[in-house]
Structure 1
Amino acid sequence: MELRARTTSTTRRSFLGASLGLAAAAVSAGPARAAEEPGSRYIPRGGIGMHLYTMRTPLAADFLGTLEQLAEIGYATVGVSGRHGNSAADIRRMLDTTGLRAVLEHVAYDTLRGPGLAQALADLHTLGAKWPVVPSLPGALHTPAGFREVAREFNRIGKASRDAGLGRLLFHNHGTDHATVEGEVLYDILVRETDPELVGFELDVYWAARGGADPATYFVRHPRRFPALHVKDMAPDGSFADVGSGVLDFAAMFRDAHVGGVKQWLVEHDSPADPFATARNSYGYLAALRY
């Protein structure tokens, strides 16, 4: 999603310089390494999805037609982010018509921590989705104390989700979530202080790298905590790019994705010039990727 961290402009040199302390899995000179160093793993076709924030403009004009085109490209799943005037039941009917499957929905933190929780979980059942996802946190909470408060709330919401017959609560990160404040990495507070049975993470690999983190190391350090990813590429100037056209080395990054428990690779681009071209380019890259 397009939020506060997007306002920072980063050149390729500054991005690579900031990444010298990261493992080689974070970045490379380009996606060619995936073709030069083929591996034996590949992303299952049922695991390649589209986060619908990418498609928000065509969805607003023609929700069903947009889903039909995604299915024709080859996508199997979607992450719901904005309903564009449709009910959960409306979207489910359109998903069923196109053969797509919703795996998660982004729901505001204040909704999930308040009286809207029960309806949000009921809507996930209607959509046929598994995971409620908190898409972002208020800036005022970006302190160690604030993130510890959030961790407690996440455990409570995650238990409600599990009790409702759904999956764990997931959290979607942005660059500022990886900041070090008062000597602590904020994101790591959430990982450490939430119950792995109740809370997981939808790791946005672009924002993790932009925030100075190495996405690959999280898979190894925290097994099974990352059932879903936002697969978003970074252009040399630090802006967004179609998956496979930027500087992130996805082949290296995904080698331990199975350890992290990744089941869904959801394509995202915050500001695509042509959403359908982005969808086609990104799907083609992920479908061919070996790592």
Structure 2
Amino acid sequence: MMNNPRRKFIKMGALLGVSSAIMPLQFCSPAKKEESATIEEAKAAKSKLNSFGIQLYSVKDEMANDAKATMAALAGFGYKQFEGFDGGKGVLWGMDPKEFKTLTSDLGVSMVASHANVFENLDAQAEAAKEAGLEYLICPWIGGQETIDAYKKFADKFNEAGATLKSHGLKFAYHNHDYTFETLEGVMPQDVLMENTDPELVDFEMDMYWVYVAGVDPSAYLAKYPNRFKLCHLKDAEPDKGDGEERGVLLGAGEIPFSNLVKESTQLGMEYFIVEQERFVGTNPMEAAEKNAAYLKNTFEY
């Protein structure tokens, strides 16, 4: 903590029975300059985040019970964007595309994307997604592969899916886990996916939690491939206890430096910031969603 000259003299004045009101002005002016500089530093440290979203899997049980009420509550917390998943009723939770789009419009939110099985019935999924107002369909999982050649084959599949979605006016993205950031045959699989996919057809969604716990610096990796990651998952991690368990915690309660990450990533092409939480300690999914929204509102400048 920096020493504050004004505080020292106020304390001295109190000890000597002298009112701080009659202290010489030269003792006050440095503190004012310091206070002004501190405020400016705080402003500069904040990132400009106009809006943020939530991956609805974070509240999957609530979505299964009452999707409309859950989405309304999340909008009330301040989320302006939703990212979906297939919870057994399709990515639109049994609603037809027009009904779904009307719902999100009424709530004042946009359904930016959904995780989906992009390797089956993609044309039909794309038609419904486009009508419902989505921008992306995202491949959420391919599993760890045994060879680098297997990852190259997935890169080809990503290009094909991207071309199909582009023909429908949509975009394709791949969401990582830790396994693509673990070296295989002397190569990082994520690099293979990045370098063997067409930037015009394939975007990426960085799950910052999984990159971080794999031992890779998310910021450095974003800088390695600027403008390739258009979406990200914000999920914090508590310090590693060495037990191999998941480390997910409320935003701001862990050790991932999101203030810097968000600021830096916006300069590297990131467009969508999506909260996700799958582990709940001392809280529950809806309470965590509300607290995470409050964290983003209070941490970042709008």
Q: Same fold (TM over 0.5)?
A: yes
Distance 2:149 2:109 in 1: 40
Q: Which residue of 2 aligns with 1:17?
A: none
- Structure 2 vs 1, CA of residues 271 and 93 (structure 1 numbering), >3 Å: closer, same or farther? farther
Say whether the 8 Å CA contact 2:46–2:299 is kept in structure 1. no
Equivalent residue in structure 2 for 1:145, among 146, 149, 157: 149
Rg bigger for which structure? 2
Q: Which residue of 2 aligns with 1:172?
A: 175
What is the letter of the counterpart of residue 299 of structure 2?
A: L
**Unaligned residue ranges in structure 1 (runs of 5+):** 1-34
Say whether the 8 Å CA contact 1:174–1:207 is kept in structure 2. yes
Equivalent residue in structure 1 for 2:112, among 88, 99, 103: 103
Distance 1:187 1:142 in 2: 14
Say whether the 8 Å CA contact 2:47–2:259 is kept in structure 1. no
- 1:39 aligned onto 2:45: yes
Between the two proteins, what is the percent identity of the paired residues?
Answer: 26
CA displacement 1:114-155 (0-9 Å, x = unmatched): 4x110121121122111110000034x342111100011111
- Structure 2 vs 1, CA of residues 162 and 39 (structure 1 numbering), >3 Å: closer, same or farther? same
Say whether the 8 Å CA contact 1:79–1:104 is kept in structure 2. yes
Shift of residue 270 of structure 1? 1.1
- 1:76 aligned onto 2:80: yes
Equivalent residue in structure 1 for 2:71, among 64, 67, 70: 67
Shift of residue 174 of structure 1? 0.7
Q: Which residue of 1 aligns with 2:190?
A: 187
Q: Which residue of 2 aligns with 1:126?
A: 131
What's the secondary structure of 1:113's corresponding residue?
Answer: coil
- Structure 2 vs 1, CA of residues 283 and 38 (structure 1 numbering), >3 Å: closer, same or farther? farther
- Structure 2 vs 1, CA of residues 83 and 93 (structure 1 numbering), >3 Å: closer, same or farther? farther
* Count of residue pairs the alignment pairs up: 249
CA displacement 1:197-218 (0-9 Å, x = unmatched): 1111110000011112211112
Distance 2:297 2:103 in 1: 24
Shift of residue 162 of structure 1? 1.2
Distance 1:283 1:191 in 2: 31
Shift of residue 289 of structure 1? 2.4
Distance 1:65 1:254 in 2: 30
Distance 2:198 2:136 in 1: 15
What is the letter of the counterpart of residue 87 of structure 1?
A: M
CA displacement 1:205-253 (0-9 Å, x = unmatched): 0001111221111221111111111100112245111111111111122
**Unaligned residue ranges in structure 2 (runs of 5+):** 1-40
Written as runs of structure 1 = structure 2, the 5 A alignment for 1:134-283 is 134-139=139-144, 141-167=145-171, 169-236=172-239, 237=241, 239-272=247-280, 273-283=283-293
Shift of residue 196 of structure 1? 1.0
Which stretch shifts more, 62-71 or 90-99?
Answer: 90-99
Say whether the 8 Å CA contact 1:144–1:182 is kept in structure 2. yes
Distance 1:239 1:88 in 2: 37
Shift of residue 37 of structure 1? 8.3
Greater RCO (CA < 8 Å, at least 6 residues apart): 1
Shift of residue 36 of structure 1? 6.7
CA displacement 1:41-97 (0-9 Å, x = unmatched): 32112xx00100001011111111111111111110100112453135243343233
- Structure 2 vs 1, CA of residues 125 and 215 (structure 1 numbering), >3 Å: closer, same or farther? same
What is the letter of the counterpart of residue 177 of structure 1?
A: T
Which stretch shifts more, 91-100 or 278-287?
Answer: 91-100
What's the secondary structure of 2:206's corresponding residue?
Answer: strand
Distance 1:207 1:40 in 2: 24
RMSD over aligned Cα atoms = 2.0
What is the letter of the counterpart of residue 297 of structure 2?
A: A
Which stretch shifts more, 215-224 or 261-270?
Answer: 215-224
Q: Which residue of 1 aligns with 2:28?
A: none
Q: Which residue of 2 aligns with 1:10?
A: none
